[in-house]
Amino acid sequence: MTNVYHSILPMRGLLWVNGTDGPALLQGLITNDVNRLSDECSIYAALLSPQGKYLHDFFVMNHPDGEGILLDCEAKRLPDLLQRLTKYRLRARVNFEDISNNFIVAALYGERALTRLSLKAQEGFTKSFGTSSGKGLIYVDPRLATMGARAVLPNVLPSKALEAKGFSETSPSTYDGWRLAYGLPDGSRDILIEKSLPLECGFHELHGIDYDKGCYIGQEITARTHYRAKIRKRLVPVVIEGPLPPQGTKILNDSNNSVGLLCSGKESRALALLQVDQLHKNRSHDRLRAGDAQLTVDLPNWLHL
C-alpha cells in the first residue's frame, strides 16, 4: 500500500473575512477571481503592491460554516496582511479576524493522497470534512493537484481525524522536502517582498492569476508583463551537491558571474531565483555554484520558460 502523510503546519494562519461586502472587496484587491469560490472550489491568489510587486500569497476558501471567506496565509505575516486589507475597507460592510487559534492547517500528501480522500484530481476541488469536534474542509492544492491536498480542521485532536483516514503524521520539514521536489515557493521564504513580480515565481502557471477577472491592485503591470513576455528572472528548483548553502547565498555561473540567489532548501533540494537568460543558455544541464555546493537546475513539468 502506498504511504500517505499529513503534516500540521503551525507556520500557517487563518484570516476570516466576514460581511456582505467581503467577496466584492477581495475581488478588487487580489490576483484571482473570487467569484470562482464555492463549497466545491478553493483558489490560490496574491495581494500585490500598486507597482505589481509581491506582498502576500494565500489560499482562499469559503468558511466551513458557510459564513464568509478564509485566507490561509503566513502566520507570522498575518498582522501585516490584516493591516493592508483593513486600509482598503473604507465603508465596506466587512470584518477581518485572526482565527488561527480555532483551526489548524494541514498538508495531506503522498502519491495516492487524493484517492484516499475521495477527491477529484482537480486543482482547488473542495469538500467538507466533518469531525466530532466540528466542521472542517479539505481541498486539492489549487496550485498543483500532484502536490496533494490541504485541510482546515477544528483545533482539537486534528491528527486523529487524519490518521483515521490512513495518513501518517510527519513534520513540516518533511513536507518541505515534498514541496521543494515540485518546485513550489513557500511565501516570503522564497519570494522577495515588494521586489518579486508574481510571474517570476510561477503564479500564472500555478493558477494564482486570472487575466479575465478585471482590475485588482497591480493588475496593469502584471498583465503588461504577461503579454509582453518580459520576465527576466524565474524561481526554479535546483539539486544540490555538497553542503546546503545559507538562504540568500549568491549563485555563480562558470564565468564566475552572479546569476541569482538561493532561496529555501532542505538537504539536496532548494529553490533558486535565477536569470532567465542563464536558464535559456544552458537549460537544465547547467552546473552552477553557491558557496561550496554545485547546483543543477531541475525544471518541473509545470514550469515553462
Q: Does the pLDDT at position 132 exceed 80?
A: no
Which backbone phi and psi does 54 adopt, to 5 degrees?
-65, 135
- pLDDT per position as a tens digit, 244-281: 999 999 999 888 899 999 999 999 999 999 999 888 76
Q: What is the pLDDT of residue 159?
A: 78
Q: What is the pLDDT of residue 282?
A: 59
Output the average pLDDT for the chain.
93
Q: Which string of DSSP letters, residue by residue, matches 259-296?
A: EEEEEEEETTEEEEEEEHHHHHHHGGG-EEEETTEEEE
Q: How confident is the model at residue 235 (pLDDT cuts 50, 70, 90)?
A: very high
Percent of the chain predicted with pLDDT > 90:
82
Percent of the chain predicted with pLDDT > 70:
96
Domain ranges in the chain? 5-182, 232-305
Mean pLDDT lowest among 43-52, 124-133, 172-181, 296-305:
124-133
Beta-strand ranges (E) seen in the chain are: 5-8, 12-18, 43-48, 54-62, 69-74, 95-98, 103-109, 126-128, 137-140, 149-154, 168-169, 233-241, 250-252, 258-266, 269-275, 287-290, 293-297
CA distance 44 to 204: 11
Grid cell listed for 21? 461586502
SS3 content of the chain, % helix, strand, coil (to 5): 25, 35, 45
Q: What is the pLDDT of residue 130?
A: 79
For 94-121, what is the mean pLDDT? 95
- pLDDT per position as a tens digit, 95-108: 999 999 999 999 99
Residues in the chain: 305
- pLDDT per position as a tens digit, 171-198: 999 999 999 999 999 999 999 999 999 9
Sign for the pseudo-dihedral over CA of 155, 177, 121, 68: positive
Q: Does the pLDDT at position 237 exceed 90?
A: yes
Q: What is the pLDDT of residue 229?
A: 78
How far is C-alpha 154 from the chain's CA centre? 22
CA distance 295 to 239: 6
Contact by Cβ (8 Å): 234, 197: no
For 78-85, what is the mean pLDDT? 98
CA distance 12 to 76: 8
- pLDDT per position as a tens digit, 26-77: 999 999 999 999 999 999 999 999 999 999 999 999 999 889 999 999 999 9
Work out the burial of residue 256: count CB atoms within 10 Å of its CB; fewer than 13 is exposed, 13-18 middle, 19 or more buried. Answer: exposed
Third-level CATH fold of 232-305: Elongation Factor Tu (Ef-tu); domain 3 (2.40.30)
How many of the other CB atoms lie within 10 Å of CB of 222?
23
Q: What is the pLDDT of residue 264?
A: 96
Residue written as cell 513534520?
171
Mention every residue, 6+ apart, whose C-beta is less than 8 A from residue 297: 236, 237, 238, 272, 274, 279, 282, 283, 284, 286, 288
For 137-144, what is the mean pLDDT? 97
The structure's pTM equals 0.94
Mention every residue, 6+ apart, whose C-beta is less than 8 A from residue 54: 46, 48, 191, 192, 193, 194, 195, 196, 197, 198, 201
Mention every residue, 6+ apart, whose C-beta is less than 8 A from residue 218: 31, 48, 49, 50, 51, 52, 53
Task: Give domain 5-182's CATH number out of 3.40.50.1220, 3.30.1360.120, 3.90.1170.50, 3.30.420.10.
Answer: 3.30.1360.120
How far is C-alpha 191 from the chain's CA centre? 10
For 165-176, what is the mean pLDDT? 94
CA distance 142 to 290: 32
Q: What is the pLDDT of residue 1?
A: 43
Contact by Cβ (8 Å): 296, 238: yes
